[in-house]
Amino acid sequence: MKYIALIAHDGKKEELVEFVLRFQKFFSQVPTLATQTTGGKLRENGLSVETVASGPKGGDAQIASRITEGKVAGVIFFRDPMGKHPHEPDINMLLRLCDVYNIPLATNPATAELIARNIV
């Protein structure tokens, strides 16, 4: 079964945790993959998740690599559109690869809900 990747910028991590808890039934049925810090927040709330490096240390690129390998079914990335991120090139690459490989990508709760309700 393919992963649902979970990523959140620092100012959006709690919002992502709340979202995953709200859709816990869905997330209990699919394997999840998260960047390290986001995954740590999810684990603190009792959720099971596989992790890669933190985003600024290459985690976004690692998830992008899994996309190219056909191992990701969807990406939920709660981005902070007002913040500056030193690893912006990695973020843009991840977003671009979602388009290249036709991977559902949610960057806000409304779109993430569509993924949680329709992918299994």
Residues that are catalytic: 60
Decide: helix, strand or coil at residue 76: strand
In contact, 87 and 55? CB cutoff 8 Å: yes
User: What span, in angstroms and rounded, lies between the C-alpha atoms of 109 and 107?
Assistant: 7
User: What span, in angstroms and rounded, lies between the C-alpha atoms of 65 and 99?
Assistant: 14
Beta-carbon-side half-sphere exposure of residue 18 (alpha carbons within 13 Å): 7
